Structure 1
Amino acid sequence: MAASDPWYLKVKDLVAFEEGEVAVRQCAGCHAPVALMTGEVGLYSRESVGSLEGVSCVFCHTLDRVEGGNARYLSDPGRIRPYPGGDYLSVQEIEAAAHLVMADPQQHREDMMRPFYRTSAFCQGCHELTMNGVRLQSTFSEWAQSSYAEQGVTCQGCHFTPGAGETRERGRLVDHRPVERDRVYRHTLGGGSLTVAARDNRTELKEAVALEAAWQGERLRVTVRNVKGGHAIPTGVSDLRELWLEITAMDANGREVFTSGHLDAAGRIREGSTIFHTVFGDEHGNKIVRHDIWRARQILKDTRIPADGQRQVSYRLPGSAKDVKVRLLWRDAPADFQQIVVQGATQPAEVFSLAEWRQQR
């Protein structure tokens, strides 16, 4: 989805119109690497089917070296030798003909695997981004400073396995062959996007955070913990991803006496709410809302929940509050971004509840 996601395509057009077609290459280095290397990337939709696969299996397995963020990697597709029959079979036939891999498994292993693929440095190239001297995406750095790095738990240790630190998942090597082995690496790569194409990520995101609340006199103390994320939550495009607290307090008659974190008529999170995210600013200190990160010159706010960390918020509720409900909510993108940039290209980003707490006094 990296090269064909409707939101990415809208932002790609935005940067092309404002900064020129050449500027799109900065995005394509991670979103459409094949299109970048073949010269197909640009303003107009001229990418081939292969390029539109985005970050494909073959692309990742052609990397020979990663030297840092901002797509500083070396790809060598020429070292992938053709399989028997691969020069005349169609793409569909090759995908269906798993026996071509089985015909020479050692060649497949040598072509498709490098030792550093097992290290987090392999992921750094596209999960660390600095522009105009400002670090706008820092997933790799967040991991490197966490207890996960100290314990030797890599990115792959969570995102390619059943869970953090787990290395084995018994499974079938090829669906239609009775070949089994104890270690099968999954490639679903669960993460922070809960769009239609990534609904399996919900369970993983729910398991990554914990919500706690307790009364302290007339104040309600709410704590959100990062319990399974080897990086900040949210991470990646954290200027878009919204994680926030919604508080609803009712009196003995069922009337609302306090609210926070509710949406207004335009779908925006109301002012004064507790949101865990980053806010980028331009050179004048204005908030960037279109994800036009090439204009970012500073980070105005960073309230994300760090790896191994927590955020605690206290609310003063009226004495009449008798029934209080707290929800930890998630949305892939703010209403302003969807209305200004996406403009109906897709369904509005849904709001998901990751955790809830409720208590009557």
Structure 2
Amino acid sequence: MNTAMNGEGRVEQTIQVGLDERSYPITIGTGTLGRIGSALAAAGLAKRYAIISDDRVASLQGQHLLDILYQAGLVGELITFPHGEASKHLATVEQLASRLAERGFDRKDGLVALGGGVTGDITGFLASIYMRGIPFVQVPTTLLAQVDSSVGGKTGVDLPQGKNLIGTFYQPRAVFIDTEVLRTLPQEEFLGGMAEVIKYGASIDAEFFSWLERQRKAILALDPAAIVPMIRRCCELKAQVVEQDEREGGLRRILNFGHTIGHAVEAASGYQLIHGFAVAIGMRAAAELAVRSGMADPSVAAGIDQLLRAYRLPTEIPAGFDPATLRTYLSIDKKTVGGRIFFVLPERIGAVRITDQVREADIDAVLRGEFL
């Protein structure tokens, strides 16, 4: 990790995702948004960029980023779509692609994903297929996107049958993370992002898990002294995993901790439950399965439950959710192979196991909300 002071005296940190010719930097700092134009101009990726953003984020940051690109001698155009998970489907991608074509964008132009995880997934997928692939950069504006979805090159859109069932692996050319934009987030969105943060500690780094326990007050107060290193550590951990397994052939699957049942809960809610909350529920459910399967001591599940609750995250499947419906979504999840559902289960804090050796009766009990 490289650390440098920018011209305004602020600390800026850069992490490199090492993927040979597909390597790229992740720049993390306060006020990073204002330096994107000069960075892109220096990189020479394109002279013209389409900023893809949902209507909410565009109203807050769209014109500002257009001005930043203009000041750096770059041409920018803002293209928006309706906010929310409901827009994450092929029709939106087709509409955005048509608007690019109408405006004469070609394979020497680029895209900027300005927004949260939905925007990043849509823009990355669009970049991977438009003109058979054009460059794009990520400018994540939510905590969830900053610590997870903007890094690693997963793109995708939803089908009625489940999340992210259509997608590609396509790496961004750069990721720019400005921690100041987190202050514009609704509290629910920030807390949802914390679920993905806790995922890294619970599944990979026990020391980070303990650090999150100690720093809870500072993190919830958005203290930069805690927020910047927190985001940096998440990006470091994800970069390390992606470098070893870019296309999720093995190791990278550990990053799905909490996502198997979490995706089913999210889909069963009609995507009204935000992703981070669903992942929190999924992590607690996975921990319960680990205990029931004899893979983990009950203290592991209790520790995960306690930290999630400390960050005001839900840990139980909402009342009224039909277990049979959840089962249906599990059966078509991308992590189901040959009819067998693969789970990422914690053996201890900071270590998980990928397995399909889970009793059907235990799955059914957890889906009914029956915890030991």
Higher-strand-fraction structure: 1
TM-score of the two chains, using structure 1 as the length reference: 0.26
TM-score of the two chains, using structure 2 as the length reference: 0.25
Higher-helix-fraction structure: 2
Structure having the higher Rg: 1
